[in-house]
Amino acid sequence: MWSSDLFRRSALLLAVVSLVAACQVRPVYAPVGSSAMGDNPAMITELASIAVEAQTDRIPQALMNELIFQLRGGSALVTPKYRLHLILTTRVSDLAIRASEDIAVAKLVSLTTTYTLTEIATGQVITSDNVYTTSSFDVTSQRYANVRAERDAEERAARAAAADIRLRLSSALIGKKKA
């Protein structure tokens, strides 16, 4: 009787330890690109050496600023090895229409970003691709609220595009290192 109880407790303890051993613990608010997030220090240095071309309009500037933060984590640009060229197109379309009044009640911001990463020393294109992100917002009868909601949706789409571009750039640079 006593040995079967001990066996059950041992089996339960083994199961719990196995489950806990499979977990990865990372700080929720760890800085982007920190070793706590599991990023390779060499990759962090490579990403920090990407110079993002200056943008003049508001949405491209929001994307550029978010990319700079995601690539460098807020630190200064080291000697640039790569140049990132961005082309953005934005479109706002009706997402939901109130049938009785034929008025839009929700809209969708679509952001298409074409990027090209070029090695500065050789002029060789490392990667080039398109990123498509969307963000929706509700439309109300208040004009300023609609303007602010659209701007917030554009900034959310820019943040999502920056995260996607960072991931794709990391992938391309890892592929370049292996080749």
Answer yes or no: is 71 within a domain.
yes
Q: Tell me if 3 is assigned to some domain.
A: no
Q: Report the CATH number at residue 135.
A: 3.30.160.150
Kindly report, residue by residue over 89-118, the tens digit of the pLDDT: 999 998 888 878 878 788 999 999 999 999
- The answer to whether position 106 is within a domain reads yes
The count of structural domains within the chain is: 1
Q: CA-CA distance, 54 to 84, in Å (whole number)?
A: 10
d(CA 58, CA 65): 10
Which residue in 138, 115, 137, 118 sits closest to 126, CA to CA? 118
Residue 28, domain member (yes or no): no
- 2 within some domain: no
Place of tokens 């460098």: 72
Task: Answer whether residue 162 is part of any domain.
Answer: yes
Q: H-helix or E-strand containing 114?
A: strand 103-119
Residue 17 has pLDDT above 70, yes or no: no
Note down the domain range covering 103. Answer: 33-178
In a domain, 117, yes or no: yes
Q: pLDDT tens across 34-89, in order?
A: 554 456 777 788 888 999 999 899 999 999 999 999 998 877 777 899 999 999 99
**Any domain includes 115:** yes
